[in-house]
């Protein structure tokens, strides 16, 4: 870093006033245009969706959806997690994911899962570091990209006992 200073990383929520930042990120990061439901879910998830700021520049985001399981328990689905290419390797993705994991344990949510393309080894390894495991494979999950298959990665969080 210039002058040896650490650059600060901070998280901020997504609101209707700044949702375009998330859209900009997604345009740059992912080969898919997300529809309105994606953004509605992200806004509805509250603190589970966050933008990451690197010295006041928005460079990454995690977007989650809260799902009701049968029996009323809530589980978290990570819709997207990404950081702009030049800003990778600075711990921003870790920071975002840890934020959501912390939030899960605070709110006694026991299950968090996501989909990942089967050839995306970097991603799979990344999530494994955080205790995610491959729990399922779905054939022909994607329509426009190859391979079309995806894994389901899930992490079960031990309940904090009170």
Q: Provide the annotated active-site residues.
A: 77, 115
Contacts for 154-161: CB closer than 8 Å, 24+ residues apart = 154/111, 154/112, 154/113, 155/101, 155/111, 155/112, 155/113, 155/127, 155/130, 155/131, 156/110, 156/111, 157/101, 157/104, 157/105, 157/109, 157/110, 157/111, 157/112, 158/110, 159/108, 159/110, 160/105, 160/108
| Residue 85: CB minimum distance to another protein, A | 6
| Residue 27 makes contact with another protein by CB under 8 A | yes
Q: Which stretch binds another protein (CB under 8 A): 42-50, 73-81, 103-111, 154-162?
A: 73-81
Under rule CB under 8 A, residue 101 binds another protein:
no
Nearer CB in complex with another protein: 92/103: 92
Where on the chain is the footprint of another protein (CB under 8 A)?
1-4, 7, 16-18, 20-21, 24-25, 27-35, 37-38, 54-60, 77-90, 92-93, 114-117, 120, 122-123, 126, 141-142, 145, 150
């Amino acid at each position: 870093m210039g002058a040896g200073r650490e650059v600060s990383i901070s998280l901020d929520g997504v609101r209707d006033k700044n949702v375009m930042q998330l859209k900009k990120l997604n345009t740059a990061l992912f080969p898919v245009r997300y529809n309105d439901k994606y953004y509605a879910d992200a806004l509805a998830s509250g603190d589970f969706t966050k933008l990451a700021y690197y010295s006041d520049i928005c460079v990454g985001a995690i977007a989650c959806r809260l799902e009701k399981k049968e029996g009323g328990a809530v589980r978290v689905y990570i819709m997207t997690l990404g950081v702009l290419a030049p800003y990778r390797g600075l711990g921003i993705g870790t920071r975002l994911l840890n934020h959501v994991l912390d939030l899960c344990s605070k709110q006694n949510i026991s299950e968090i899962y996501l989909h990942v393309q089967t050839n995306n080894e970097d991603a799979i390894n990344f999530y494994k570091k955080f205790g995610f495991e491959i729990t399922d494979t779905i054939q022909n999950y994607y329509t426009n990209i190859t391979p079309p298959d995806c894994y389901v990665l899930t992490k079960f969080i031990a309940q904090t006992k009170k």
